[in-house]
Each structure stands twice: as C-alpha cells, then as structure tokens.
Amino acid sequence: MSRNAESTAFRSALEVIRAVEPRVADAIGAELTDQRESLKLIASENYASPATLLAMGNWFSDKYAEGTVGRRFYAGCQNVDTVEALAAEHARELFGAAHAYVQPHSGIDANLVAFWAVLADRVESPALKKAQVRQVNDLTEADWFALRRELGNQRMLGMSLDAGGHLTHGFRPNISGKMFDQRSYGTDPATGLIDYDRVAEAAREFKPLILVGGYSAYPRKVNFRILREIADSVGATFMVDMAHFAGLVAGKVFTGDFDPVPHAHIVTTTTHKSLRGPRGGMVLCQPELADQVDRGCPMVLGGPLPHVMAAKAVALAEARRPDFADYAQRIVDNSQALAEGLLRRGAKLVTGGTDNHLVLIDVSGYGLTGRQAEQALLDSGIVTNRNSVPQDPNGAWYTSGIRIGTPALTTRGLGTAEMDQTAELMHTVLTATTAGANADGTPSKAKYALDPALADKIARQATDLLTPFPLYPAIDLA
C-alpha cells in the first residue's frame, strides 16, 4: 500500500464518521495523537498495521456466521468461510499446530472455549455422551442434572495471580474461579522463579483435571516440557495460555522446551499483544480436542466476528514473513536493555531481570505503590500499568509493582539505546515522586506528589525521544 493510499483511507473514514458523530471522529484522531506522543510501555499493547486495522472496518461486520467453516447456521457465509479458513491456515503454519480455532473474541473467551472443550472431552457421563452427539433435545431433566454434577467442581492448578498468573486461570472474580475448584502454584520467594519441584508436588497432592501454564506478568521463560511431564504424571490435561508471548513463539525466539505448542494439549492466545494483530483470541489444540474446540460457538461464544477474523488473517500472514522473526528478537533485546538500564539506576526488578517482552518493577523501593507510580508516569508521558508483585502487601488494586513491556516501542523502531534513555526518564520520575497522605494524615496508597514542571519536562523529553520513530508515518489526518 502506498503512503498516499493509507492517508486517503483513514482520512476518508474519519470524514464519513464525522458526518454522523463528529465527537467520535475527534476522539479517534485524539487517540492517534496521544499514541504518537506517549511512550507506550504497557506490555499487553502494540500497534497493528494499517492493513490489519482496515480489515476490521468493512461489511463483514454485518454478517452472522454461527458455526464453523462449511457448517454454518446462517446462509450466505461463503466469504466468511474464506477469511476464517485463511486465518486458521496461517495460524497452523505459523505455530506448527494441528488445529486452530480463530473465532474467540478475546483471550478470556479463548480460555473459556478451552476449559469447556477439556471438560467435555474428559468427563465421562451418559448425559454428556448424548450431548456430544448433538441430541440435546432428548436430554431429560435428570440427564441435565447428572451433566451439571459431572462438569462442576473439577480441579484446576495454575500460576497464582501475584506470581504472574492471570485472572482467567481460576481466580474467584473470574468465571473460571466459579467453574473450577482451583489451587495455585507460586514462585520461589528468594528468586521469583517457578520451582518446578513444588509444582509437581502440588499436582500430586491436588490431582487437577487441568494444569495451566502461561502468565501475564512473569518476566522469564517457562519450561513447558517439564510442565507437560508433571501434567502427564497425574493424568491432567496441559493447557498453556500464551497470550502475552505468542509473538515470541511465532518469531521463533522461544523454541524447544520454551515453545508451548509441541508440549501442550491445548494452547490459547490473544492475537494482539506481541503478535501485533487485532484485539481477539485464538485456540490451538491437538487433533483429539478439535471437535470440542470448534463448538466454541454457540457453546460459550456469541456470533463470530467475521471482520475481526479477516484482520486476524492479515496479521497472521504478516507474522509469517521473515522480518517478523527479527522483530520478535528485537522485542527481547529491548526488554533486556530496559531492564539493565533500570537496574543500573537502582531499580528493584522481580526476578532481577527478564527473558521475554516484559519487566516487572517493584516500586516499593521508591516508597510508592503501583497506583501512585502508574499515575506519576502517566503525568510524564509514560504509559504503563500497575501490577502485583509476589506476596504483594498492597493487594491487586493498589499493588506494589509496575509492569512494562517493549512490543509497542519495538514496532515503532526504537532500539536498545532508546531503552536506556527510557529507563532514565522512568527513574527520574519515580525518584521525584513522593507518596501522599489522606485528610486525616494517614499514608495514602493513591495520592502522590510530583512537581508539574518536572512532569512536563519529562513528557517533552519522551516526545522528543519518539520523534525519529514516527507512528504510522504514512498516515496524515490533517
């Protein structure tokens, strides 16, 4: 696509939107400006290509397509079949997976599809066997009662939230915590690393139906071969949620024991984050789970989003290009450079560094909570998110950590030298920020003090740092 074509496409789209609701058009334009001028360090965010973005804004949005390729509950889905089949083909080839299901709307949806697929595959019940052959109308109330009892209270073992796990790995605020009798494995208190012997011990004691690997805030590689051996030793299904590091798997930065696809029975992921696609989810699985996974809609999903599946196909095609592997390696190089820059300046990092795309800073060393640090950095043009650290005394709302990641800045072209400068900007802000107090004089976990002049200075420096690396340089909305 030419530079002029990209500008024309997005400018024309905004003109059409502005004619109906100018405030929406203004907000879209403002978001591009904000993203261009801010250091985006949220580990779960990235910048999708113009082609991926444009693939979402079309009349595929108007089509219902329950079912799967060639087996739809609506007529006229031949073009949806084309883009869904392409997305699944690209996913299988990219990850070396036996089967790919690209309909999930999000990572949570992908996990729900995986959970129910495993439950349906593993739990033995006469009622369930009837349901599996689609004779739902023939099930009696007694059959449904037996089915609910069989599917309920199964056991899940996953990484604890404060050690870097995710809400969807069995925690009470999420539906997974209500579906399963859940137990967590943590990390070694001294190192912050997974202790595989302790995971094996927990699995032998708890005997879960599903052992979950993967994370949202663990800055190291995971040995999926060992976790599969643990799962096999107790007869568990091994599921991996690779939403955060899928791009590193696709780019062959994580291979062998650190690539989950050859080792897991079922793998879930988002398609954005380090994979740099549209917001959405995906499930990869072994052949024996394929039929159950393909029933994700209507099992737990609403109607598929054909326009997003089209964008997934585009993004996955981009990820199969040779330059994506170079991009994935630069993500890790930048992450490690950022970690080293912070360490040199005295920051405390969980596990003392990183092997992947993210860095977890324990900001208690600056005398701050995660919430205070997050807002002070935002005031200074640096976008991050607060995150729990192991054994966090401030809980999951205020936290003691800041999670940062390099996929987005790497997409813009920043390198290791700019990561060191980023570390300097962050350290300056965090050092200059002080915790505030409540009206009664007690320490506040939310209030903070930062000289506005310093915040403005850092924000200008952040913008200057980004100037040689324009975001969407071919797009001019003026």
Cβ of 207: how many Cβ atoms within 10 Å? Answer: 12
Taking the C-alpha atoms of residue 432 and residue 334, their distance in angstroms, rounded to an integer, is: 25
- DSSP E strands in 125-221: the ranges are 154-159, 180-185, 210-214
Q: Is residue 238 within 8 Å of 267, Cβ to Cβ?
A: no
Cβ of 235: how many Cβ atoms within 10 Å? Answer: 11
First to last CA, the chain: 19
Taking the C-alpha atoms of residue 386 and residue 401, their distance in angstroms, rounded to an integer, is: 6
Q: Which residues are catalytic?
A: 64, 66, 241, 270, 273, 279
Taking the C-alpha atoms of residue 273 and residue 44, their distance in angstroms, rounded to an integer, is: 5
Q: Identity (one letter) of the amino acid at 72?
A: R
Q: Is residue 277 within 8 Å of 316, Cβ to Cβ?
A: yes
> 3-class DSSP state for residue 397?
helix
Cβ of 393: how many Cβ atoms within 10 Å? Answer: 10
Q: Identity (one letter) of the amino acid at 305?
A: L
- Residues in the chain, total: 478
The pair of structure tokens assigned to 55 is 């693939």
